Amino acid sequence: MSQAASDIGFFAENRIAHTASLTRNWWAVLLRGIAALLFGAIAMFMPGVTLASLVLVFGIYMLVDGVLTIVAALRAASRQERWGLLVLEGLCDLVAGAVALALPTLALLTFVVLAAGWAVVSGVLMVVAAFRHAGEHSKVWLTIGGIASIAWGVLLALFPAAGLVVMTWWLGAYALIFGASLVALAISLRTHRAPAQATA
């Protein structure tokens, strides 16, 4: 077998392993999506909350999302599956949440930079995961969630002086899209779980 063929086979095996790991942890993906939807709803329908309250909600959401992501990574690691990207994303979430909760009185610009940086990093990791994912039914939702995250982060970085209400709406819209894509991904993974297990 040629080196090129061997590399292709290795890449295909990695994609299949990544897909199997996501499929087994569909419930964690669903919980992440629900948490994002709840956060998005609060941001959209309660735009008059103070910045400190918004930072508090954002920090709690980041911690919950980080813990759930690391739980999924640990489950993948216990089966000797690929877990590096999940751990990296989970750690980024935990750091963002801890900083937001520890320093709630920071200026809006600091919060904007923190939120924008997290969104871009998280979005890039999701897009990378989508390219490594073998299931076409789930790849599109990973890509949509990742692109939404990157777009929101870039917009926030370009317009840091936007009013708090506008930023809150942006944050809510992003969280709703991100959460909906994760819920759809979880449903897709759950739906295709049985056929995949039967084939295996």
Please state at what angle helix 26-45 crosses helix 164-191, rounded to 10 degrees: 160
Indicate the domain borders of the chain: 10-195
Per-residue pLDDT of the chain (200 residues; tens, 9 = 90+): 554 445 455 455 566 666 677 777 788 888 888 988 988 888 788 766 656 677 787 788 889 888 888 888 888 777 777 777 788 888 888 988 887 788 775 645 677 777 788 888 888 888 888 777 656 666 787 788 889 889 888 887 887 766 566 777 877 888 899 899 889 888 888 887 655 555 55
Say if CB 178 and CB 39 are below 8 A apart. Answer: no
Tokens of 138: 């789930």
pTM score of the predicted model: 0.51
Sign of the CA dihedral 159, 165, 170, 171? positive
Q: Say which DSSP state 162 is in.
A: S
Distance CA 17, CA 29 (A): 17
